[in-house]
Amino acid sequence: MLEVADLRVSYGPIHAVNGISFTVGEGEIVSILGANGAGKTSTLFGIMGIVRSRGSVKFRGEELRRRSPTEPTSKGMVLCPENRRIFPGLTVEENLRLGTFVRGEFKETAEQAYSLFPILKERNRQIAGSLSGGEQQMLAVGRALVANPEVLLLDEPSLGLAPVIVDEMFRVLADLRKKMAVLLIEQNAVKALSISDRAYVLQNGSIVHSGEAGAMLRDDNLRKAYLGM
Amino acid sequence: MNAFLQAITIGIPQGALYGLMGFGIAMIFRSAGTLNFSHGYSAMVSVLITLTTIEWFFDAGIVEGHAALFAAIPVGLISGAVFGVLIDLLLMRRVKHVSPASMLMITLGLLLVFEGTANLVWSPDYESFPRILPGPPFIFEGTGALEEIRVVFRRNDLAVMLIALVISLSLAAVMKYTKIGLAIRARGQDPVGAQAVGINTNRVDSIVWGLALLLATVVGILVAPITRVHPTMLMNTQLLGITAAVLGGFSSLFGAVWGGLMIGVLERVIDIFPALDGYETAIIFFLIILVLVFKPQGIFAPKQGRKA
């Protein structure tokens, strides 16, 4: 469904992503794991056209030009960025409405987001900046879901959240599997692998390992070498 | 009493222009992320283009008399928008990701470029500029108990106030109800968030620059009959426009309009007292310092939620 080949992202002389290739299939949850600075976020930004990138990104067999995030988003690739990146001065509902800026019918998709995260419905009219960190993360995921994604690109959804909220978040993500493909980027490798089908390990901008998520969880050498567990 | 009424009558239209100037400056600051020091100077060049067009229409005999002004205004406004879009496409887009300081330096450089262009291509002389509504001023005189009241209202100020009001209301509607307005607000609040919902932030920036400099040209055309046309004609308006934006708080665009009105009236009210003559700007900037110290979000800033 999503095929990335030889993706390269550089910022001036610094190469953040050195020609990586990976795929995400229909209804699959695929994780990209790696430490800080491994190039995870740059990979997503490159795919979405937020930063300039070279290489090929094909969605349903069609090559994306990636001049701006408008094109990938309108085709159904929706990003939920790191650090939530909600609009703090707008209300919860306005934030969700903005999620349908280029794709999705708010009236139809909002109910789905509200049913996954009932707290958002409760806080509908509240200014988003006044939500707690966990609620803001739910809003960020909700904002991505109202665009009715075919592939959801999730960047560090567990960052800075209390463990109980992380569990809640991953329970919701596991449920999404039936409706859409998910490309998950995480530092929390155990959590990510436990809901993923496959995973790639990114180090210094290159993929150093890939495989079935279950097998990776059991592979002691891999865990020690790359995932620091 | 009479002096106060007179001060307010002159101050409000003047302040409305500071406010519109400040609105554009705040819009660029919030969206594109830099303080545009060349704001008034590019508008000044657009006013010169308008003036030249008027003269050209006149000489060619295409349009007669006052109609030449209205025929030339669209040319001036378009030139303003074109300057804005070009500044964004050719200069800002290249340095946007480098640092805010480099964008600031570019706007300072542009100030000199626009001023130099005006001196070179046109002239450093003061040229007169036609009013939108020519004619004698309105004079309101009180009767009976209010006999002492005598307020002079410049006819052109009527046009200034109406235009400022219509523009403010339509901008409010655009920002609130249209897709592009929503995109501008979203981009100002969080650029990555805006891109995550599929907004092309580069395009938003171009639109913001074009719109803001078009707005500045409107202000330039409206103040030109008073200041006359010369290379530094909008220096004061730009300075007080920035002040209006600070006073209103860069966090709310319409705060700049209110801030501008306050400054315009204040300037005239200070004028009433002979002892304070010449200190208007000093007093206004002193107030700005107070605002920055005690309410740095601006006096009209909405209550912010906790940062989480």
- A141 vs chain B: nearest CA distance in angstroms? 11
Closest by CA to A31, choosing from A185, A155, A166, A227, is: A185
- Among the ranges given (A101-105, B44-48, B97-101, B268-272), the one the predictor scored with the smallest mean pLDDT: B97-101
- What are the angstrom distances between the C-alpha of A11 and each of A42, A46, A98, B17? 10, 11, 29, 42
Tell me whether residue A115 is in a domain. no
Closest by CA to B266, choosing from B254, B256, B252, B281, is: B281
Copy the structure tokens of residue B25. Answer: 């400056």
Q: Are A193 and A216 in contact (CB under 8 A)?
A: yes
Tell me whether residue A7 is in a domain. yes
Query: With an 8 Å Cβ cutoff, are A133 and B308 in contact?
Result: yes
Query: With an 8 Å Cβ cutoff, are A88 and B179 in contact?
Result: no
Give B-chain residues touching A89 at CB under 8 angstroms.
189, 251, 302, 304
pLDDT for B228: 95
Q: Are B238 and B20 in contact (CB under 8 A)?
A: no
ipTM of the complex in this document: 0.92
Q: Among the residues of B122-200, which ranges form H helices?
A: 155-177, 179-189, 191-196
- A17 vs chain B: nearest CA distance in angstroms? 18
Residues 6+ apart with CB under 8 A from A146: A96, A97, A99, A100, A104, A106, A109, A110, A112, A113
CATH code for the domain in which residue A204 is found: 3.40.50.300
- A111 vs chain B: nearest CA distance in angstroms? 18
Q: Are A176 and A161 in contact (CB under 8 A)?
A: no
- Among the ranges given (A92-96, A225-229, B19-23, B178-182), the one the predictor scored with the smallest mean pLDDT: A225-229
Closest by CA to A22, choosing from A49, A56, A54, A48, is: A56
Encode pLDDT of B66-86 as tens digits: 889 999 999 999 999 999 999
Q: Are B23 and B170 in contact (CB under 8 A)?
A: no
How many other C-beta atoms can be found within 10 angstroms of the C-beta atom of residue B167?
Answer: 18
Give A-chain residues touching B182 at CB under 8 angstroms.
98, 101
Who among B193, B200, B302 is closest to A81 (CB)?
A: B193
Strands of chain B (E only): list them.
138-141, 150-153
Chain B, 245 to 264: residues with Cβ < 8 Å from chain A are 251
- B97 vs chain A: nearest CA distance in angstroms? 10
Encode pLDDT of B215-249 as tens digits: 999 999 999 999 999 999 999 999 999 999 988 87
Tell me whether residue A6 is in a domain. yes
Measure CA B253 to chain center: 12
Q: Collapsing DSSP states into helix, strand and coil, what is residue A53?
A: coil
Query: With an 8 Å Cβ cutoff, are A48 and B195 in contact?
Result: yes
Give the residue from chain A lying closest to B193, CA to CA: A85
For chain A, the straight-line distance linking the first and the last C-alpha, in angstroms and rounded, comes to 32
Tell me whether residue A36 is in a domain. yes
Tell me whether residue A52 is in a domain. yes
User: How many A/B residue pairs have CB atoms within 8 Å?
Assistant: 89
Give A-chain residues touching B202 at CB under 8 angstroms.
68
Q: Collapsing DSSP states into helix, strand and coil, what is residue B141?
A: strand
pLDDT band at B307 (very low <50, low <70, confident <90, very high): very low
Residues A159 and A82: their CA atoms lie apart, in Å, by 8
The two most distant CA atoms of chain B are separated, in Å, by: 67
Domain holding A21, by residue range, is 1-76+152-157+183-229
Q: Are A112 and A83 in contact (CB under 8 A)?
A: no
Q: Using only C-alpha atoms, what is the Rg of chain A?
A: 17
Asked whether the predicted pLDDT for residue A227 surpasses 80, the reply is no
B176 half-sphere exposure, CB direction, 13 A CA radius: 9
Q: Which residue has the tokens 């040229």?
A: B127
Encode pLDDT of A49-80 as tens digits: 999 999 999 999 999 999 999 999 999 999 99
Copy the structure tokens of residue A156. Answer: 């560090």
Who among A81, A130, A147 is closest to B306 (CB)?
A: A130
Residues A51 and A42: their CA atoms lie apart, in Å, by 8
pLDDT for B308: 35
pLDDT for A160: 83
pLDDT for A102: 94
Residues B18 and B239: their CA atoms lie apart, in Å, by 9
Residues B249 and A159: their CA atoms lie apart, in Å, by 32
Tell me whether residue A99 is in a domain. no
Number of domains chain A contains: 1
- What are the angstrom distances between the C-alpha of B187 and each of B184, B191, B207? 5, 5, 12
The residue with greater pLDDT, B89 or B303, is: B89
Tell me whether residue A224 is in a domain. yes
Tell me whether residue A97 is in a domain. no
Closest by CA to B33, choosing from B80, B75, B95, is: B95
Query: With an 8 Å Cβ cutoff, are A101 and B308 in contact?
Result: no
Encode pLDDT of B132-152 as tens digits: 998 899 988 888 777 778 889
Asked whether the predicted pLDDT for residue A129 surpasses 80, the reply is yes
Encode pLDDT of B81-108 as tens digits: 999 999 999 999 989 888 888 999 999 9
How many other C-beta atoms can be found within 10 angstroms of the C-beta atom of residue B59?
Answer: 9
- A191 vs chain B: nearest CA distance in angstroms? 24
Encode pLDDT of B203-224 as tens digits: 999 999 999 999 999 999 999 9
